[in-house]
Chains A and B, each alone.
Chain A
């Protein structure tokens, strides 16, 4: 290893002080090892310049890597989605009898002596409840109306004081869908 070996690249690049240049030049001319080193360093410099030129000719594409917050946010969204999917749901029961507004009822209403008109939602009388079979569950009607027996049966066909419970089904437009009578 020569004393000049640490100054060869600077000498090649013309970066040595004037008073050193002549001494290095004389040494390189006389030293085969340093002459070989200079040739090698020149080759390496040339190679790097060509490589650097080729590498920076096409700059790297933008956004090569994904910012950290994107996978974090995606993971959080996935966890929330899974939690919502697996969470038990409470089912709201749908009423069996549609809630019909009073205005949707037929315009003609009847009065009867047997059963006075009761407000909707009120429980039936205890006697009537006892008459029902035990396994029969009565659905609380939304609206109760009283219809005179003469309007439905021939005169004398129904004993006096006898009443029926009528299950009336109404369509969404207010028309009667079905009528079922129970003593």
Chain B
């Protein structure tokens, strides 16, 4: 899991009680959200715009007396839906889908380590490309520290389905990468 992700036990809803805590919420969630949007294939500027819109919607939601439960999944769901809209309009404009581009470059200390890491990432890249969009998204949200229930809320899936999808995706990766 990513070291930047939130602690799973963090009661996020308490952050929205005042502006200082809302700022904390922004600081905590902005980076994982940007990473997820980037993982969906959005260019940097678009990812930033979508994240900003999502936080603006969150602010309106909270200031309008909206529910303070499950803020993290609420935010990711809004951003995910906007990213979907962008991907669809991109596909219409450019005639091809906006697929995620995982361009990994190792920053290992020695050239040997770098070559090994790059080879490992290339293998993973090939394996990730065999996953469908739902499997990729489940794995990315899981890597951001979201619980299965939250992943289900973001993607509109039952929790049991998320469990099956994650299990299937991990097995595929393990087989393709021979780990």
Contacts and interface: CB of A to CB of B under 8 A. Distances in A.
Interface of A: 6-10, 13, 15, 40-41, 43-45, 47-49, 51-56, 58-69
A173 B93 CA distance: 62
A67 B93 contact: yes
B167 A55 contact: no
Contacts of A56: 35-36, 38-39
Contact of A13 (B44, B46, B102, B148): B148
A60 B174 contact: no
Contacts of B34: 59
Contacts, number: 110
B32 to A, nearest CB: 10
Classify the secondary structure of B's interface with A.
helix
B36 to A, nearest CB: 8
Interface of B: 1-2, 34-36, 38-39, 41-47, 93-96, 101-106, 120-121, 124-125, 128, 139-140, 142-143, 147-148, 163-164, 166-167, 170-171, 173-174, 177, 179
B104 A44 contact: no
B101 A64 contact: yes
State the main secondary structure of chain A at its contact with B.
helix
B124 to A, nearest CB: 5
B44 A54 contact: no
Contacts of B1: 45, 49
A43 to B, nearest CB: 4
Contacts of B179: 40, 43-44, 47
Contact of B103 (A43, A58, A63, A66): A58
A13 B142 contact: yes
B165 to A, nearest CB: 10
Contacts of A44: 170, 173-174, 177, 179
